Structure 1
Amino acid sequence: MTGRFPIEDITPSVACGRYPAKAVVGEVVPVSARAYREGHDALGCAVRWQGPDGRERPAVRMRPGEPGQDRWHATIRPDAVGRWTFTVEAFADPYLTWQNAVTKKIAAGQGAEDLANDLAEGARVLDAAATAVPRNERDRIRAAAAALRDEELPVPRRVAPALELAELLWEHPVRELVTPADEYALWVDRPRALFSAWYEFFPRSEGAIPATVDAPAQSGTFVTAMERLPGVAAMGFDVLYLPPIHPIGRVNRKGRNNTLVAGPDDVGSPWAIGAAEGGHDALHPDLGTPEDFRDFIAAAADVGLEVAMDLALQCAPDHPWVTEHPEWFTTRADGTIAYAENPPKKYQDIYPLNFDNDPEGIRAEILRVVLHWVGEGVKIFRVDNPHTKPVDFWYWLIAEVKKADPDVLFLAEAFTRPAMMHGLGKIGFTQSYTYFTWRTTPAEMREYCEELVASVDWMRPNFWPNTPDILHETLQHGGPPMFKIRAVLASLLSPSWGMYAGYELFEHEARPGAEEYLDNEKFELRPRDWAGAQAQGRSLAPFIATLNRVRQENPALHQLRNLVFHEIDNPTLLCWSKRDPDTGNTVLVVCSFDSRSVQWGNTTLDMPALGLDWHDRFTVHDELTGATYEWGQRNAVRLDPFLQPAHVFTVRRPAPVEPTPTSPTAPTELTVEAVPDDLSGGTAPVAPADKDVEWTS
């Protein structure tokens, strides 16, 4: 401990302050700390913070939390991308100490003689306060100090002007014995780091012509793939993720459905990167030229899509690095280079890099590759299997890339152990894939989401109901209603979500015995009749567009910290809400997990979480159907998976009701947070409770 007062357990803090916590521009970031002092004198706390430009922002005074816990709270709102720093200061607040003592003594009937020292002390405090408040308030301070010294006035009139300064001196306190804590960092990204809707497609499939008896297969190109961009944008997505677009190796190329022997028309897996045409800094010649790629990025931007690129740090056996830098790979006892394995799975078409043989050389080359694509206009990277590379490498690479361009974002595709997934978030990955796909009951989903909310300072989730590698059995057997259910859950529980092409066409056929697609697009061209499916009503695209519209229109859904679950008496249903503290915008969702049967349930809503009193009646508007209902704390719902597997309500102002003696009150097991009646020693603040206060010292 250093300094006059103990300050402990500061949040946000990642790994005891070793790494920056995460936020985005404009996000309300809660800051808290435990601070206390001896005796009964009042303590104050404040957050001091500065932006990436080094300029200090107005300090924010912290408010006490639950009585007796000595926990202090405030919020800050960073307004620029980059590395911010903050610290918590504790200080003695002599005005609050005086205010508490004098009001109690007056209430006990003490007179001027008994209060002589208190009145003199109050005047001294106000003399000091005259230099802390804005200039236009100084005469008011001096007048109050003069009143305290005026022995001709009765005690109530002597102290009244000073007591009326409570709000002003909360905002501009007299601070003594100021004690700063250690400094903590906050990395602030652009808003898309937290709120985004991703769509994945293989550009080689868009406009492709499969092989026939008379003609070989013909790959789609960046030019033909541009035709799909308006359809993706019309569904409301804002990030278009492309699997690797580099040359594909020919040695040990996989055939259709991951067979070991490729035919003459088999196109291979895009993740087997590198061939005679080039490696990670090259484009597959079948897709087009660098100019075509730039035109594709521009065309995507024109319809509101940002292109995300795959960063897969592995090589086909004929990648140029294999001959130019054999030391970057692992050589086995028989002299051959080891291919990738995840027993019992084998990836004979891929050589993993060995980051320990020549770490400086590998790091320099990968940084060059990433910055090459940043220079081409790519600012988002979906990183393939980052958990199979050293964590310290990612820590270094992400920091170096952000030095060059702080707007670059990294999504970790790491379906692995929790410690590694959280660790990758802590060291700098912007977002992460999650276990969402395998949380298939309301209880599992609620528990997992609550874990993610608790980890929001370092791990931002991105929920995907499917990927080219993953077709969960719920989608294999759940029918179209399950596709709707999983889309609702993914898009409205998490501020970032994504889906792989074909989801909107209800593609559900799996390779026997596997959680993977049959005729997997990883190994073959797969053109789809998008227009025909939509014309025939066989597309989920309109439903997806509605979900993304609701997401865009409701700022409550742009956040994760505000996720609250509500009780519902049917274990097949999940009920949750999100509320935006600035606008009051509130979304309330009830979703079934049953794709086959009608389900009924009765809610018990946490009304304060909705911005309402326990007895309020209010209007809910279903964004999926347009229906409007009047609700209260307890409501019955009926969800039919074939008609409507979920309610997606926007909450509107309470319906007017006449108060009656029988109005319901809050259940005893639910409590509303109260302002404490002590401040580390019995002094209660007299200050507005609806906002944090900023001041400049």
Structure 2
Amino acid sequence: MVGRFPIEDVTPAVSCGRNPAKAVVGEVLPISAVSYREGHDALGVNVVWYGPDGMTHPFTRMSPGGPGTDRWHGAIQPDATGRWVYAVEAWGDPYLTWWNAVTKKIEAGQGLEDLANDIAEGIQILTLASAGVPAARRPDLKTAIDALADKSRPLSERVSPGLALRPLLWEYPVRELVTRSVQHHLWVDRKRALFSSWYEFFPRSEGAVVAPDGTPVRQGTFATATERLPAIAAMGFDVLYLPPIHPIGRINRKGRNNALVAEPTDVGSPWAIGAAEGGHDTIHPELGTLGDFQRFVKTAGEVGLEIAMDLSLQCAPDHPWVSAHPEWFNVRPDGQIAYAENPPKKYQDVYPVNFDKDPVGIRTEVLRVVLHWVKQGVKIFRIDNPHTKPVNFWEWLIWQVKKVDPDVLFLAEAFTCPAMMHGLGKVGFSQSYTYFTWRTTAYEMRQYCEELVAAADYMRPNFWPNTPDILHETLQHGGPPMFKIRAVLASMLTPSWGLYAGYELFENLPQPGVEEYLNNEKFQLRPRDWSGAEAAGRSLAPFLTQLNRIRRDNQALHWLRNLRFHEIDNGALLCWSKRDPETDNTVLVICSFDSTWQQAGNTTLDMPALGFDWHERFTVKDELTGATYDWGQHNVVILDPFLEPAHIFTVHRHT
């Protein structure tokens, strides 16, 4: 809608304003808009913004962008979780109009007689301005008014005090004909929604015992899994993600390596949820009791780990929902409930829920289940395959939960078409899995990350080098250097990253012809000798600890919008930086994509993106090795994958 002054294309605006944009507490959120006016008078533009408490925040003036664009830029920095509101205002700026006219006339050689009316108008404008500036600065305006009125002074002395007020009256302007845009909404999460380091493990494998042929002897419990928590925290991870911890169905249970027929001792897939013992609101009895889980959550918190729970809305054939609500499932022509399929794959141990059969009943039950776990201290949910459920269901569920507890976060595990992945982010998912695993060249990675930064208003990426379902061929064949390379890329490109247990032991044996692990932990116990591997130097844990320490210590790595790429003349190398102006913290990374051969390249750095002028030089410290170098715009880089496949530099000004 056009008011006195047009205000167009306000950003961020997600889905034309239908969905709120996203930020986290302390994040600097860019605001921009196109606004213009007739004639030559000056226009002013500002952001007006309100917190969840309804209080108006300080006046935030916007600055004009490139000449001829009529786009204005500003920023806000929310300081509390919840729903915020912002709008853009445009208005006539009589002081700046006066300043421009007086300056141009004097530069053109015009004298006192030509500026008589301008002097009178200046007195009027500055008199109006006096009411809006802080009391401590009002004497400055009086001085300027007195100078303009003093006919004994020469022209330059009469106008100079008034012209010198430009910085003050930029911050406290006189505003005429104020026009406001429509309101836009912003949801602000706690910072972990953007910055987090995830680690996934199966509690049943920790402390488990298996026979030499892989037959389970004893399953791990929450009590035995607790013993692993300090080591995970010591690596610098802050979110511990658990696969489903509920009873596992016995009907059609899968055996080891997804065998169609299970042996009596096979433990089954945790994603085949539900049995006689209960469903999604129940603990698998071999893991322990609800009290055991509560103690596990408490102990994790004491060492700095927050528990993320898997929410997988599907059922084993013996889930209580199947008998209590058969109408929630699809029935085939032969009268049997349809099991899940993704042709040619078949999941005989899982029944998908049809969310269109009884939307009210299903929604009520799922909300009950989620809030049950929230009461147990779970504030993060990793949603399994959300793209196979209706998008409007997720929108409803997420915001219903946030009404109860705004700190609850949701990670979308969706590897599907871009529109669906972006759509899930728009309707409220706090974080999203990505295509990171399949971006295996420097060019592909740069293009993809630039796409993600462009979507930062609603989609927060979480990069994972591996999952129980994904063992990419780069890890199958790249050896330990590739494990380092993918960890550097995941941890340094985005604020959130994660990995699945076994990565630090370089596990890389695939099932023939596919991207999945041989002896997949989804279907069997996988106890690991963590301490033995580290003692023998066969563990990546020290390197992962370094990466998480670098992330924690450098504020620049906590944000997504500040990612900038730099040119380097070798296609096997990628160069990027992140800078936090508030702390003057800058991190510069050069990483190789080649796990076999040494690679060299010449950088052409975007110096302003690093906070420097084009000619300046600076010191870089490699946080992996401790080495320091004197750098400028052009530098030579040599990376050997068997030494270190990357430089992770902190940038320091010369003193």
- Number of the residue aligned with 1:532: 532
- The alpha-carbon deviation at position 106 of structure 1 amounts to 1.7
Q: How is 1:289-304 mapped onto 2 (pairs within 5 angstroms)?
A: 289-304=289-304
Give distance in 2, aligned partners of 1:215 and 1:417: 39
The answer to whether structure 1 residue 545 and structure 2 residue 550 are counterparts is no
- The alpha-carbon deviation at position 216 of structure 1 amounts to 5.5
- Number of the residue aligned with 1:58: 58
- Number of the residue aligned with 2:102: 102
Task: State whether residues 12 and 31 of structure 1, in contact with CA within 8 Å, keep that contact through their aligned partners in structure 2.
Answer: yes
- Number of the residue aligned with 1:387: 387
Instruction: Provide Cα deviations, 1:262-295, integer angstroms capped at 9, x if missing partner.
Output: 0011100000000000000000000001111011
Give distance in 1, aligned partners of 2:626 and 2:154: 65
- The alpha-carbon deviation at position 580 of structure 1 amounts to 0.7
Give distance in 1, aligned partners of 2:486 and 2:58: 44
Q: Secondary structure at the match of 2:38?
A: coil
Q: How is 1:232-381 mapped onto 2 (pairs within 5 angstroms)?
A: 232-381=232-381
The answer to whether structure 1 residue 629 and structure 2 residue 629 are counterparts is yes
Task: State whether residues 215 and 265 of structure 2, in contact with CA within 8 Å, keep that contact through their aligned partners in structure 1.
Answer: no
Give distance in 2, aligned partners of 1:364 and 1:346: 29
- Number of the residue aligned with 1:150: 150
Q: Secondary structure at the match of 2:228?
A: helix
Q: Secondary structure at the match of 2:204?
A: coil
Task: State whether residues 216 and 525 of structure 2, in contact with CA within 8 Å, keep that contact through their aligned partners in structure 1.
Answer: no
Structure 1 letter corresponding to 2:564:
V
The answer to whether structure 1 residue 597 and structure 2 residue 601 are counterparts is no
Give distance in 2, aligned partners of 1:267 and 1:414: 26
- Number of the residue aligned with 1:476: 476
Q: Secondary structure at the match of 1:561?
A: coil
Give distance in 2, aligned partners of 1:653 and 1:338: 64
Give distance in 2, aligned partners of 1:548 and 1:169: 45
Instruction: Provide Cα deviations, 1:542-597, integer angstroms capped at 9, x if missing partner.
Output: 00000000000000110111111111111001111111111111111111101111
Counterparts in 2 of 1:212 and 1:438: CA distance versus 1, 3 Å? closer
Q: Secondary structure at the match of 1:279?
A: coil
Q: How is 1:501-650 mapped onto 2 (pairs within 5 angstroms)?
A: 501-650=501-650
Instruction: State the aligned residue count.
Output: 655
Give distance in 2, aligned partners of 1:132 and 1:292: 61
Give distance in 1, aligned partners of 2:637 and 2:112: 66
Q: Runs of 5+ in structure 2 lacking a partner?
A: none
- The alpha-carbon deviation at position 145 of structure 1 amounts to 2.1
Structure 1 letter corresponding to 2:95:
Y
Instruction: Provide Cα deviations, 1:329-364, integer angstroms capped at 9, x if missing partner.
Output: 111122111111111111110011111010000000
Q: Secondary structure at the match of 1:217?
A: strand
- The alpha-carbon deviation at position 150 of structure 1 amounts to 2.9
**Higher deviation after alignment, 220-229 or 335-344:** 335-344
- Number of the residue aligned with 2:426: 426
Counterparts in 2 of 1:214 and 1:310: CA distance versus 1, 3 Å? closer
- The alpha-carbon deviation at position 215 of structure 1 amounts to 8.7
- The alpha-carbon deviation at position 211 of structure 1 amounts to 4.4
Give distance in 1, aligned partners of 2:210 and 2:616: 61
Task: State whether residues 619 and 630 of structure 2, in contact with CA within 8 Å, keep that contact through their aligned partners in structure 1.
Answer: yes
Give distance in 1, aligned partners of 2:211 and 2:278: 25
Q: TM-score, normalised by structure 2?
A: 0.99
- Number of the residue aligned with 1:195: 195
Q: TM-score, normalised by structure 1?
A: 0.93
- Number of the residue aligned with 1:76: 76
- The alpha-carbon deviation at position 19 of structure 1 amounts to 0.6
Task: State whether residues 441 and 572 of structure 2, in contact with CA within 8 Å, keep that contact through their aligned partners in structure 1.
Answer: yes
Q: How is 1:83-162 mapped onto 2 (pairs within 5 angstroms)?
A: 83-162=83-162
Instruction: Provide Cα deviations, 1:335-394, integer angstroms capped at 9, x if missing partner.
Output: 111111111111110011111010000000000000000000000000000000000000
Task: State whether residues 216 and 266 of structure 2, in contact with CA within 8 Å, keep that contact through their aligned partners in structure 1.
Answer: no
Q: Secondary structure at the match of 2:218?
A: coil
* Identity across matched positions, percent: 73
- The alpha-carbon deviation at position 218 of structure 1 amounts to 1.1
Task: State whether residues 94 and 125 of structure 1, in contact with CA within 8 Å, keep that contact through their aligned partners in structure 2.
Answer: yes
Counterparts in 2 of 1:215 and 1:412: CA distance versus 1, 3 Å? closer
Task: State whether residues 196 and 497 of structure 1, in contact with CA within 8 Å, keep that contact through their aligned partners in structure 2.
Answer: yes
Structure 2 letter corresponding to 1:298:
K
Structure 1 letter corresponding to 2:272:
A
Instruction: Provide Cα deviations, 1:585-615, integer angstroms capped at 9, x if missing partner.
Output: 1111111101111111111111111111111
The answer to whether structure 1 residue 5 and structure 2 residue 5 are counterparts is yes
Give distance in 2, aligned partners of 1:12 and 1:214: 53
Give distance in 2, aligned partners of 1:115 and 1:509: 84
**Higher deviation after alignment, 544-553 or 212-221:** 212-221
The answer to whether structure 1 residue 461 and structure 2 residue 461 are counterparts is yes
Task: State whether residues 211 and 218 of structure 1, in contact with CA within 8 Å, keep that contact through their aligned partners in structure 2.
Answer: no
Task: State whether residues 599 and 640 of structure 1, in contact with CA within 8 Å, keep that contact through their aligned partners in structure 2.
Answer: yes
Give distance in 1, aligned partners of 2:441 and 2:228: 35
Give distance in 2, aligned partners of 1:545 and 1:126: 59
Give distance in 2, aligned partners of 1:284 and 1:275: 9
Structure 1 letter corresponding to 2:398:
I
The answer to whether structure 1 residue 210 and structure 2 residue 210 are counterparts is yes
Counterparts in 2 of 1:40 and 1:313: CA distance versus 1, 3 Å? same
Instruction: Provide Cα deviations, 1:427-457, integer angstroms capped at 9, x if missing partner.
Output: 0000000000000000000000000010000
Give distance in 2, aligned partners of 1:445 and 1:26: 28
Give distance in 1, aligned partners of 2:453 and 2:487: 20
Task: State whether residues 385 and 412 of structure 2, in contact with CA within 8 Å, keep that contact through their aligned partners in structure 1.
Answer: yes
Give distance in 2, aligned partners of 1:515 and 1:107: 71
Task: State whether residues 616 and 654 of structure 1, in contact with CA within 8 Å, keep that contact through their aligned partners in structure 2.
Answer: no
Task: State whether residues 622 and 628 of structure 2, in contact with CA within 8 Å, keep that contact through their aligned partners in structure 1.
Answer: yes
- The alpha-carbon deviation at position 104 of structure 1 amounts to 1.2
Give distance in 1, aligned partners of 2:448 and 2:410: 22
Task: State whether residues 211 and 265 of structure 1, in contact with CA within 8 Å, keep that contact through their aligned partners in structure 2.
Answer: no
Give distance in 2, aligned partners of 1:143 and 1:508: 76
Q: Secondary structure at the match of 1:411?
A: strand
- The alpha-carbon deviation at position 620 of structure 1 amounts to 0.8
Q: Secondary structure at the match of 1:146?
A: helix
Task: State whether residues 246 and 281 of structure 2, in contact with CA within 8 Å, keep that contact through their aligned partners in structure 1.
Answer: yes
Counterparts in 2 of 1:98 and 1:489: CA distance versus 1, 3 Å? same
Q: Secondary structure at the match of 1:602?
A: strand
Structure 2 letter corresponding to 1:565:
F
- Number of the residue aligned with 1:672: none
- The alpha-carbon deviation at position 109 of structure 1 amounts to 2.2
- The alpha-carbon deviation at position 151 of structure 1 amounts to 2.6
**Higher deviation after alignment, 164-173 or 143-152:** 143-152
Q: Runs of 5+ in structure 1 lacking a partner?
A: 656-697
- The alpha-carbon deviation at position 473 of structure 1 amounts to 0.3
